């Protein structure tokens, strides 16, 4: 397995593969890998074939964190991640520095760099429809950072296909839209959410939870199951379903609901009537830690 740190080297390698007619599958991550990430690597391998190239990027992308968020304390363990990537059958791990990805970033973007010949990063990609609700409403600049970094990674890795997790449903929908709108020649695959035995969706952020919070964090997946049962036989007003789920989540004393939404899985527009096939998503705080989950009803 090869480890690539510079953007120039990654793009050179990708162009070489392109000339050789090699297939390339890609899994972008922020590292601190768990079985959910590794399932995406396996899916990329399965689709690209044994001789194709599977690239995993490990990069904690600063532009998708808000000023009050956990960028500096986001968990990192590159040594362990590399071991896991090797075991999962990745061919290349691309792990660039901030200076490589966003030259000059951190200086005020609206200030000209007087007498400074270094380039300053100042171009972003903004998806304007699907990014406004749910995670986008709670985290206003988050998706701008996600679409920008994913577009950059596509241009560096030149993948034929890229695998994202259904765990971040809205993110996957936005990336699909961006890929379509901007004509990236990349197929987007969305792979199922991998969960702990009790139902909690695996997440790098789960390690922030103390034992009591971890025990109650199962409330997210239980809420999805509860909603599934509620609409199994017949549809119901989404408002009534959401009120019931708010009360249900309040039954976990350490949980503080951020939002719960019932929406169309493709357009992400909220539904009036929740029924089979409706998508449900929620975000719940445990102390400062914010967890998200979603599922098809
Ligand atoms: P992250 O490192 O959190 O940016 O996630 C990188 C990719 O892994 C994204 O496509 C996520 O949706 C996906 N992912 C995260 N958690 C899971 C999970 N539990 N199951 C499947 N995919 C996941």
Angle between helix 238-250 and helix 219-232 axes, rounded to 10 deg = 150
Q: Is residue 285 part of a domain?
A: yes
Mention every residue, 6+ apart, whose C-beta is less than 8 A from residue 174. 127, 130, 131, 143, 146, 147
Q: Tell me, what CATH number does 289's domain have?
A: 3.30.1300.10
Q: What is the pLDDT of residues 169-219, one digit of tens each?
A: 999 999 999 999 999 999 999 999 999 999 999 999 999 999 999 999 999
Chosen domain end from 131, 163, 191 = 191
Q: What is the pLDDT of residues 7-25, one digit of tens each?
A: 999 999 999 999 999 999 9
Task: Identify whether residues 166 and 212 lie together within a single domain.
Answer: no
Task: Identify whether residues 144 and 212 lie together within a single domain.
Answer: no
Task: Identify whether residues 149 and 256 lie together within a single domain.
Answer: no
Q: Is residue 199 part of a domain?
A: no
- CA distance to 30, 144, 151, per residue, from 221 (Å): 23, 28, 31
Q: Tell me, what CATH number does 136's domain have?
A: 3.40.50.620
Percentage of the chain exceeding pLDDT 70:
95
254-277 mean pLDDT: 98
Beta bridge partners of 53: 24
Structural domain range at position 160: 2-191
Measured distance CA(270)–CA(277) in Å, rounded:
13
**pLDDT band per the 50, 70, 90 thresholds, residue 111:** low
Quickly tell me which residue has 């539904």 as its tokens.
271
Instruction: Supply 268's token pair.
Output: 């992400």
Q: Is residue 124 part of a domain?
A: yes
Q: What's the structural domain count of the chain? A: 2
Q: How far is the CA of 259 from the centre of ligand 1 (A)?
A: 20
The ligand 1 atom at the shortest distance from the C-alpha of residue 163 is 10
Q: Is residue 197 part of a domain?
A: no
112-131 mean pLDDT: 80
Q: Count Cα atoms within 13 angstroms, Cβ side, for 142.
A: 19
On whether the CB atoms of residues 135 and 142 are closer than 8 A, the answer is: yes
| CA-proximal residue: ligand 1, atom 17 (nearest) | 36
46-73 mean pLDDT: 95
269-289 mean pLDDT: 98
Q: Is residue 45 part of a domain?
A: yes
pLDDT at 62 over 80: yes
Task: Identify whether residues 40 and 161 lie together within a single domain.
Answer: yes
User: Is the shortest distance between the CB of 37 and ligand 1 below 6 Å?
Assistant: yes
The ligand 1 atom at the shortest distance from the C-alpha of residue 165 is 12
Task: Identify whether residues 281 and 241 lie together within a single domain.
Answer: yes
Q: What is the pLDDT of residues 43-55, one digit of tens each?
A: 999 999 999 999 9
């Amino acid at each position: 397995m090869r480890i690539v740190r510079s953007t120039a080297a990654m793009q050179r390698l990708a162009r070489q593969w392109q000339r050789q007619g090699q297939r390339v599958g890609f899994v972008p991550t922020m590292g601190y890998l768990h079985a959910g990430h590794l399932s995406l690597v396996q899916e990329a391998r399965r689709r690209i074939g044994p001789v194709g190239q599977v690239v995993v990027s490990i990069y904690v992308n600063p532009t998708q964190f808000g000023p009050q968020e956990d960028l500096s304390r986001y968990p990192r363990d590159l040594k362990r991640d590399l071991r896991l990537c090797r075991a999962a059958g990745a061919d290349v791990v691309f792990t660039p520095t901030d200076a490589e990805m966003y030259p000059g970033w951190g200086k005020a973007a609206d200030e000209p760099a007087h007498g400074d010949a270094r380039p300053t990063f100042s171009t972003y990609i903004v998806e304007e429809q699907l990014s406004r609700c749910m995670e986008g409403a709670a985290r206003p600049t988050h998706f701008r950072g996600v679409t920008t970094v994913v577009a950059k990674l596509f241009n560096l890795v030149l993948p034929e296909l890229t695998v994202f997790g259904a765990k971040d449903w809205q993110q996957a929908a936005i990336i699909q839209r961006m890929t379509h709108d901007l004509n990236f020649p990349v197929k987007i695959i969305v792979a199922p959410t991998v969960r702990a035995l009790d139902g909690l969706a695996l997440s790098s952020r789960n390690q922030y939870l103390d034992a009591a919070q971890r025990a109650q964090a199962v409330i997210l997946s239980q809420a999805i199951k509860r909603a599934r049962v509620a609409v199994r036989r017949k549809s119901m007003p989404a408002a009534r379903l959401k009120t019931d789920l708010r009360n249900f989540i309040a039954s976990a004393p350490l949980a503080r609901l951020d939002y719960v939404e019932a929406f169309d899985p493709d357009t992400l527009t909220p539904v009036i009537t929740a029924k089979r096939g409706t998508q449900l998503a929620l975000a719940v705080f445990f102390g400062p830690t914010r967890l998200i989950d979603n599922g098809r009803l």
